[in-house]
Amino acid sequence: MPRVATSLSRCDRLGTIGARSGLTRNNYKVTPGLYCVGKPAETTPVLVTANYKLTFDALRRELAGLDAWILVVDTRGINVWCAAGKGTFSAEEVAFQVQRAQLDKLVSHRELILPQLSANGVAAREVKRLCGFKARFGPILAADLPEFLRTGQAGEAMRTVTFTLRERAVLVPLELCIVGKPLLIAGLLFFVLSGISPEFFSFSAAGSRGATLLLATLTAIVAGAALTPLLLPWIPFRQFWLKGAILGGIAAVLFTAGTTEAGMVENAALFLWITGCASYLAMNFTGSTPFTSLSGVAKEMRRGLPFQVVSAGLAAIFWLAGPFI
Amino acid sequence: MQDFRYLDNTAILRLTVEKCIGCGNCELVCPHRIFRVRDQKAEILDPNACMECGACSKNCPTNAIYVNPDDGCGCAAYIINSWIAKVRGKMPSGCGC
């Protein structure tokens, strides 16, 4: 039985950075099975969690000074809520891990404490039917577990999902890093598009105009993928593509004010490009929030996507036309 | 969560009151606290706060709750992929998140 520490080592913290930035995120796993903290006995509560290491770390660091069994189920390295949504954090999987760990021989009680956010994947009554253990939904956050274990209750605040500035801020590095690869490909395209000139192809124009376009794109990324998530509740409108377009538009005005060598047509291209890109990136952030419904995202995409495609298309035409005017 | 409101009249969430036995599971699991059980029947207090996570319907013992069953994490990339897949007649390939 592996006994785990309730404090994070330097290695764990480095791992957190890797996962949050997206570098190691897709393969940051804990081996499924039974773990413990402290010195658990047969009456000690069993906490169930996902095998994403960031999740596992968030749980164990809140258990300092406590005794507990931790049953890690195989969610393919995905966090609790997403895994439940995707169906990997399920009653079947919980029951399977209970049996595999022979939990009935280790504890005298027949109760599991599951994170509340696994409820969209786990039907509690199914767990009971499949393995005989009663599944009880604990609080949303691991931080509230000590109080829940002490009082046996989770109040309304513990059961309500939040999306604080801090909770949004930790998502930003991933939002930024995820655009890295497409940006490399786009950078090449910028270079080619920017070089097309009346004298067929100008390498100097490709370099200088391509760099301007790349900077404009970075501005759009900051506006759509960083500022929109951070300032989310304070930006007008509910649809994310509009929120992104507003911040993108403001960023574009500031950006084009600084590009003195570009003409009217080119500045129009830059404005449309930054606004459209920021709008798209903001729209993509819907997948990371805890309050946007899939129906709502599909609805706003039917409006946002045409806006973004037309903006980008016009931007390309104006940018190509620039050297010929 | 009152700071965060999404599109009104959009989320698909239906409660068939006749089937409800008042067990309170929906009230317990909803991360947006939109259900309340009164007189052995659940009621939806704030339908526009629903994000279609599906926890209520998953834990409803009598199938009294219907939530938009489409899965996926709700990011634009996934929806674009699923639209493309629909046009090409294939299964969506996911979004990588």
Nearest Cβ partner of A296 from B6, B29, B33?
B6
In a domain, A226, yes or no: yes
* Token pair in block for residue A117: 């956010």
Q: Both A245 and A108 in a single domain?
A: no
Question: Tell me: the pLDDT tens digits for A275-288?
Answer: 999 999 999 999 89
Amino acid A165: pLDDT: 96
Helix (H) or strand (E) holding B31, with range, is none
Nearest Cβ partner of A283 from B5, B28, B76?
B76
Q: Both A26 and A107 in a single domain?
A: yes
* Token pair in block for residue A61: 């660091």
Angle at B7 between CA B5 and CA B13, to 5 degrees: 100
ipTM summary value: 0.90
Q: Which residues pair with A113 in a beta bridge?
A: A47, A136
Name the closest residue on chain B to residue A126, using Cα atoms.
B59
Q: Both A95 and A134 in a single domain?
A: yes
Residue A17's CB is within 10 A of a number of other CB atoms, namely 11
Question: Tell me: the pLDDT tens digits for B16-70?
Answer: 999 999 999 999 999 999 999 999 999 999 999 999 999 999 999 999 999 998 7
Question: Is the CB of A297 less than 8 angstroms away from the CB of B79?
Answer: yes
Return d(Cα A117, Cα A158) in angstroms, integer: 11
Question: Tell me: the pLDDT tens digits for A88-139?
Answer: 999 999 999 999 999 999 999 999 999 999 999 999 999 999 999 999 999 9
Given CB atoms, is B80 within the 8 Å cutoff of chain A?
yes
In a domain, A303, yes or no: yes
Whether A2 has a pLDDT exceeding 70, the answer reads yes
> A29 by DSSP, 3-state: which?
strand
> B66 by DSSP, 3-state: which?
strand
Q: Both A224 and A320 in a single domain?
A: yes
Domain count, chain A: 2
Question: Is the CB of B76 less than 8 angstroms away from the CB of A280?
Answer: yes
Sorted by where each begins, the domain ranges of chain B are 13-69
Question: A with B: how many residue pairs have Cβ under 8 Å apart?
Answer: 130
In a domain, A2, yes or no: no
Given CB atoms, is B71 within the 8 Å cutoff of chain A?
yes
Mean pLDDT of A192-205: 88
Classify residue A212 as exposed, middle or buried by CB count within 10 Å of its CB (0-12, 13-18, 19+): buried
Amino acid B87: pLDDT: 83
Q: Both A180 and A155 in a single domain?
A: no
Let me know: does A41 contact A11? Beta carbons within 8 Å. no
Q: Where are the alpha helices (DSSP H) in A121-195?
A: 124-131, 145-151, 165-169, 172-177, 180-195
In a domain, A234, yes or no: yes
- Dihedral (CA of A247, A249, A250, A254) sign: positive
Residue A261 sits at φ, ψ, to 5 deg, of: -80, -15
More confident of the two residues B94 and A106: A106
Q: Both A50 and A141 in a single domain?
A: yes
Chosen domain end from A134, A161, A188? A161
**Domain B13-69, CATH number (from 3.40.50.1000, 3.40.50.300, 3.40.50.280, 3.30.70.20):** 3.30.70.20
Mean pLDDT of A154-172: 96
Q: Both A92 and A173 in a single domain?
A: no
Residues 6 or more apart whose CB falls under 8 angstroms from that of A235 comprise: A228, A243, A246, A247
Least reliable range by pLDDT among A78-87, A134-143, A258-267, A274-283: A258-267
Start-to-end C-alpha separation, chain A: 74
Amino acid A1: pLDDT: 80
Chosen domain end from A161, A177, A198? A161
Chosen domain end from A130, A145, A161? A161
* Token pair in block for residue A60: 């164990």
Mean pLDDT of A2-27: 89
Range of the domain at A133: 10-161
Let me know: does A57 contact A8? Beta carbons within 8 Å. yes
In a domain, A19, yes or no: yes
DSSP secondary structure, A61-113, as one string: TT-TT--EEEEE---TT--HHHHHHHTSS-HHHHHHHHHHTTHHHH-SS-EEE
Q: Which amino acid is at A26?
A: N
Mean pLDDT of B1-24: 93
Q: Tokens 């794109």 correspond to what residue?
A: A217
Start-to-end C-alpha separation, chain B: 24
Name the closest residue on chain A to residue B8, using Cα atoms.
A296
Residues 6 or more apart whose CB falls under 8 angstroms from that of A185 comprise: none
Return d(Cα A197, Cα B28) in angstroms, integer: 64
Q: Both A184 and A265 in a single domain?
A: yes
